[in-house]
Structure 1
Amino acid sequence: MLIAVPDAPRQGARAAFRGWRARRPFWGGLLLALGGGWILLTEKASLKVVMHIGMQGLAGYLLPTLMALLGLLILFNPSQRLFYSITGILVSLGTWLTSNLGGFFLGLLLGATGCCLAFGWLPDQEPRVSRRKRRKQPRSAVAAPAGADGAEGPA
């Protein structure tokens, strides 16, 4: 027998995604993965040419693939974001030499920006309150409470 609980809030897909996104450095990982994808798209050499050139040609495909992989790892394993973002910035800067000037600067900039965002993300930060909600709060709620300055309040 199935029992329905009327008081339980029902989450939609959008609300569930927003909750998932709030618990990880989403924009940092996404930008890093997009930067790697962009650099891979700007590569024009076929795999036969890459194998003929050797290690330098292989690095042109290896580094952007690593960028995309690190971006996905930041998204799905945010506890290791510091290691992934430091590795990601080094790989992003390495694409300057190996992959068409970092995907004509765009992939390099996307990767570097994503790494900086992922590195600076704080997991225990309280969510921001929108300006609209701050305006609706009365001024007394915004002011410091009575016992906040260190003095003892009435017992």
Structure 2
Amino acid sequence: MSPESTGQNEHYLSAFRRGFRTWRGNRPFWAGLFTILGGVPIAYFPYANMHLGNMTLAMSTTAGAGSLIIGVLLITLGLTMWFHSIVRVFAGVASILLALISIPVANIGGFLIGFLLSLIGGALSISWAPGSPKADEAGPAAGVPAEGTRDNLSFTKDERPAGIPEGALHGMGVPEQQPAKYDTTVEVDGGRHRAG
């Protein structure tokens, strides 16, 4: 087996795929992708020339700079959704507003392609929320009793933590137990005597 074999690269590819899947799951990946893909036609079409045989059709408008700005902002918002997902709601609202503005400014929103993609990306960004751990994995913390075992918190007055006045825990539903009473009398030579 030579060191150039393809079997060794499978480990790196699977590790990359696992890492990418984890990275993608921790952010609004599809929202950012749709927003970036929506910004490209909005920025591109006003500067593109379409050739129909010998005829050149220029799609540039008087608001070409506005189209470029909207497209670049949408691409930037898509990257923001990927790399700074804490502002995903702002980025989603901004991309929806820019998509709406692109209809009159940028060739009907990049011939509706860029408009629809940016609109979907903004909506996905607003609705995305980070996942929460499964109930199996999120057990009670160490040293903290599970819910429903409130009796584990009861203790006697002598065992009460320092700094907590007597009766303070009674209002919180934590019972204070009285210390056990022991019979302190001792039977010696047929008679009962009190010890101590």
TM-score tier (shorter): 0.5 to 0.7
CA shift at 1:41, angstroms? Answer: 2.4
| Equivalent residues of 2:46, 2:64 under 8 A apart | no
Moved more, 82-91 or 10-19: 10-19
CA shift at 1:67, angstroms? Answer: 0.6
**Which of structures 1 and 2 has the larger relative contact order (alpha carbons within 8 angstroms, sep 6+)?**
1
Match of 1:58 in 2: 65
Number of residue pairs aligned between Structure 1 and Structure 2: 115
Q: Deviations over 1:12-52 (max 9, x none)?
A: 00000000000000000110011001222222369xxx8xx
**CA distance in structure 1 between the aligned counterparts of 2:132 and 2:30, rounded to whole angstroms:** 16
- Determine whether 1:29 maps to 2:36: no
Q: Deviations over 1:122-149 (max 9, x none)?
A: 113458xxxxxxxxxxxxxxxxxxxxxx
Is there any run of 5+ residues in structure 2 with no aligned partner, and where?
A: 1-11, 50-59, 135-147, 150-196
Give the alignment's Cα RMSD to 1 decimal.
Answer: 2.5
**CA distance in structure 2 between the aligned counterparts of 1:44 and 1:105, rounded to whole angstroms:** 16
Match of 1:99 in 2: 106
Q: Deviations over 1:66-112 (max 9, x none)?
A: 11110111111001101111111101111101111001001100000
| Equivalent residues of 2:43, 2:69 under 8 A apart | no
**CA distance in structure 2 between the aligned counterparts of 1:17 and 1:79, rounded to whole angstroms:** 19
Paired AA for residue 18 in structure 2: A
Query: Which has more helix, going by share of residues?
Result: 1
CA shift at 1:57, angstroms? Answer: 3.1
CA shift at 1:60, angstroms? Answer: 1.6
**CA distance in structure 2 between the aligned counterparts of 1:58 and 1:117, rounded to whole angstroms:** 28
* TM-score with structure 2 setting the length: 0.53
Moved more, 59-68 or 23-32: 59-68
- Determine whether 1:113 maps to 2:107: no
**CA distance in structure 1 between the aligned counterparts of 2:25 and 2:106, rounded to whole angstroms:** 33
**CA distance in structure 1 between the aligned counterparts of 2:46 and 2:79, rounded to whole angstroms:** 21
Match of 1:44 in 2: 47
Paired AA for residue 74 in structure 1: M
* TM-score with structure 1 setting the length: 0.66
Is there any run of 5+ residues in structure 1 with no aligned partner, and where?
A: 1-9, 128-150
| Equivalent residues of 2:81, 2:87 under 8 A apart | yes
Query: Which has more strand, going by share of residues?
Result: 2
Which has the greater radius of gyration? 2
